[in-house]
Amino acid sequence: MMPSPRRLSLKQRRSRGAPARAGHAPPFTAASAAAAASASETIDLQRRRDQLTARVAELQFDLGGLVYEMAIRNQIRVDVLVKRAAVLQDADSELAEVNRIMRLEQTSTAGECGTCGAPHSSGAGYCWQCGQPLLAEVSTGSIGRSDGEPVTRQLG
């Protein structure tokens, strides 16, 4: 038979997770709210990573089985394989992005310096080790195109 909560000592109530005094919760602060939100986001990211890992494994298994079935029937349909591979690639790239975000949260680094390889935080303009700029200056006309040509669109 368990003793009633009123007869428990303070140490016993704390070990059971109950607040020290009935009706009183720990004070709510901005730091505790931020920590709770961060922990919640991390748990969501971990859950999403687990889901994506299972999905990627399933898609790989299915794609391999599909290739095998087509091969034993001597009817390889590349268009079907390409569509399935594209779905697999999308899931795999999302998994890689989730892993990158989780690694970023764990290490608090946003990248590496292209010159010396030193890690830098998000928002840093210059490398702390070698002093080189982390972001290359780009002219406004070349934004949007990988070949440096300005983006043009014909209307009508």
pLDDT at position 149 over 60? no
Q: Is residue 39 in a domain?
A: yes
Task: Give the pLDDT confidence score for residue 57 in this predicted structure.
Answer: 96
**Domain-embedded: residue 48:** yes
DSSP string for the chain = -PPPGGGS-HHHHHHTT--SSTT--PPP-HHHHHHHHHHHHHHHHHHHHHHHHHHHHHHHHHHHHHHHHHHHTT---HHHHHHHHHHHHHHHHHHHHHHHHHHHHHH---EE-TTT--EE-TT--B-TTT--BSS----GGGTT-TTSPPP-----
Summarised one tens digit per residue, pLDDT across range 3-27 is 444 555 555 555 554 444 444 444 5
Look at residue 56 and tell me whether its pLDDT is greater than 60: yes
What pLDDT is recorded for position 117? 83
Could you give the number of structural domains in the chain?
A: 1
Within a domain: 113: no
Domain residues for the domain of 58 are: 29-106
Q: Is residue 76 in a domain?
A: yes
For the chain, what is the mean pLDDT? 74
Residue 100 predicted with pLDDT over 80: yes
Question: Residue 133's pLDDT is what?
Answer: 87
> Is 3 among the domain residues?
no
Is residue 56 in some structural domain? Answer: yes
In a domain, 86, yes or no: yes
Residue 118 lies in a domain: no
